[in-house]
Structure 1
Amino acid sequence: MAGHSKFKNIMHRKGAQDKKRSAMFSKLSREITVAAKMGTPDPDMNPRLRLAVNNAKAQSMPKDNIQRAIDKASANEGDDYEEIRYEGYGPGGVALIVEALTDNRNRTATNVRTAFSKNGGNLGTAGAVSHGFERLGLIEYPADAGDEEKVLEAAIEAGADDVESSEDGHVIWTQMEALHEVAGNLEKTLGEAENVKLAWKPNITVEVDEDTAGTLFKLVDALDDDDDVQTVWGNYEVPDEVMEKLGA
């Protein structure tokens, strides 16, 4: 249950969304409203809403913004969003999964397809790349949550499946169905997590060179910049020296 953390650049560059806090809060609000509409507006009784609220708090989203998003759902206000997953290939044959919440399927599909085509990628059909990923629960803790041994022990006790620790922090993986329970158990020993969500973990990663990584990051940024896109997952691995050269 140990290993070096490769997750930081598998998902996307850390901090890419931090530069656009307004856009990030908008995406978090959308997820909160959708989660509240799909179940009860009480986070204690709605696991998906609890995840959304916890993630919003982890990103320092104001409490008033969180409550407004929940109230929208309670009042049946706002647009109705549907969840859509897009799959495709980026530069170097990198597999990408794009998760979106949209009120206009045609607009989102056009924007996602354009981002792929303008940045060396191809948008595929449903199932084109997801067979190379596992759908798992993901819990992230900062490095100061404890040393590798402490976090590993806490994760085992909590019922997690795998832990990846590095100087950047701790990434804990669980079965999808166990995410809420494991996250709750970990909170008792390690405190509140930085991030708790369902994730797409690649079975095999592809190491990319500097040229490929530069174009790939442009594609990921273009997708992240779309208001409808919630998360971008990939199977790429970028060496530390390349990340440094690119300023990522």
Structure 2
Amino acid sequence: MAGHSQFKNIMHRKGRADAVRSKLFSKLAREITVAAKMGMPDPDMNPRLRAAILAARAENMPKDNIERAIKKSQGGDAENYEEIRYEGYGPGGSAIIVEAMTDNRNRTASDVRSVFTKAGGNLAETGAVAFMFDRVGVVEFDAKAASDDAMLEAAIEAGANDVESDPEAGHTVYCDQSALNEVSKTLEAEFGEPRKSALVWKPQNAVAVDDETGEKLVKLMEALDGHDDVQNVYGNFELSDTLLAKMG
């Protein structure tokens, strides 16, 4: 399990304080608004909006908040956000990708660079580390949704490429980015609504790091994830079971 997935699991186990949850809801609402503004306001006709709503529901975001974010996209007061990808290196040379949505490119770039520097890493040029990742679709279900064999069989039949199943993390189905919508809808018809359906950056190889470096990397990921303009953070490192247990 690579850095992004491990990091998300750590954050989930820690639970979310009210202030952190409020910031998360703000990010989720922003993605919903942008997705609805770029396409149709109907999730059945807009795969990106559907994915954004699934992500919001997975975090127990109130239905009113979701509907308000969609309505905002149809009004003239919706902010204009620019989507930017930053790439850099964390402590130990681990590759990190940051996806941001901002109304001020210069501010966000300066802030992200500062976070990398303070953590002992450095921001690099676009394209510096992206080649170490694959852009793929991912559909996630809780472990109770199906047995490992049933999920694997259904996913492959739906057109997926691979499935990772874990008693705690659940089922993670990977597919080509062009097949995400079809795979997601097919699996939803069989197992119910997934907790996630999105495009992600999947590391081609996970690099094991020592615990000292791992702690620094998690702090960097937390700092990046905590920034208002940052939507997603991905890393190609792998933490030890000892460190995961300590942080859990």
- Scaled by the length of structure 1, the TM-score of the pair is 0.94
Asked if structure 1 preserves the Cα contact closer than 8 Å seen for 2:3 and 2:235, the reply is: no
Q: Percent identity?
A: 53
CA distance in 2, matches of 1:8, 1:185: 28
The yes-or-no answer on 1:235 pairing with 2:230 is: no
CA distance in 2, matches of 1:98, 1:163: 24
CA distance in 2, matches of 1:62, 1:76: 24
Work out the number of aligned pairs and report it. 242
Quickly say closer, same or farther: Cα 1:95–1:108, change in 2 above 3 A: same
Asked if structure 2 preserves the Cα contact closer than 8 Å seen for 1:8 and 1:14, the reply is: no
Quickly say closer, same or farther: Cα 1:11–1:48, change in 2 above 3 A: farther
The yes-or-no answer on 1:14 pairing with 2:15 is: no
The yes-or-no answer on 1:212 pairing with 2:213 is: yes
Asked if structure 2 preserves the Cα contact closer than 8 Å seen for 1:87 and 1:123, the reply is: yes
Deviations 1:20-55 (A, max 9, x none): 211111000000000011111111111111111121
Asked if structure 1 preserves the Cα contact closer than 8 Å seen for 2:86 and 2:97, the reply is: yes
Asked if structure 1 preserves the Cα contact closer than 8 Å seen for 2:137 and 2:177, the reply is: yes
Quickly say closer, same or farther: Cα 1:166–1:7, change in 2 above 3 A: farther
- Uncovered stretches (5+) of structure 2, i.e. residues with no partner: none
Amino acid of the structure 1 residue aligned with 2:140: E
The yes-or-no answer on 1:181 pairing with 2:176 is: no
Quickly say closer, same or farther: Cα 1:7–1:94, change in 2 above 3 A: closer
Amino acid of the structure 2 residue aligned with 1:12: F
The yes-or-no answer on 1:115 pairing with 2:91 is: no
Deviations 1:50-106 (A, max 9, x none): 111121112111110001101111113231101000000001111000000000001
- Uncovered stretches (5+) of structure 1, i.e. residues with no partner: 1-5
**CA deviation after TM superposition for structure 1 residue 9, in Å:** 4.9
Amino acid of the structure 1 residue aligned with 2:213: T
Quickly say closer, same or farther: Cα 1:15–1:71, change in 2 above 3 A: farther
Q: Secondary structure at the match of 1:12?
A: helix
CA distance in 1, matches of 2:153, 2:2: 20
Asked if structure 2 preserves the Cα contact closer than 8 Å seen for 1:10 and 1:237, the reply is: no
Asked if structure 1 preserves the Cα contact closer than 8 Å seen for 2:4 and 2:233, the reply is: no
Asked if structure 1 preserves the Cα contact closer than 8 Å seen for 2:88 and 2:96, the reply is: yes
Deviations 1:188-237 (A, max 9, x none): 11111111110101111110111001111110011011010000001011
**CA deviation after TM superposition for structure 1 residue 13, in Å:** 3.3
Counterpart position of 1:3:
none
CA distance in 1, matches of 2:103, 2:4: 29
CA distance in 1, matches of 2:54, 2:40: 16
Asked if structure 1 preserves the Cα contact closer than 8 Å seen for 2:91 and 2:119, the reply is: yes
Asked if structure 1 preserves the Cα contact closer than 8 Å seen for 2:133 and 2:202, the reply is: yes
CA distance in 2, matches of 1:90, 1:111: 15
CA distance in 2, matches of 1:51, 1:60: 14
Counterpart position of 1:126:
126
Q: Secondary structure at the match of 2:11?
A: coil
Counterpart position of 1:95:
95
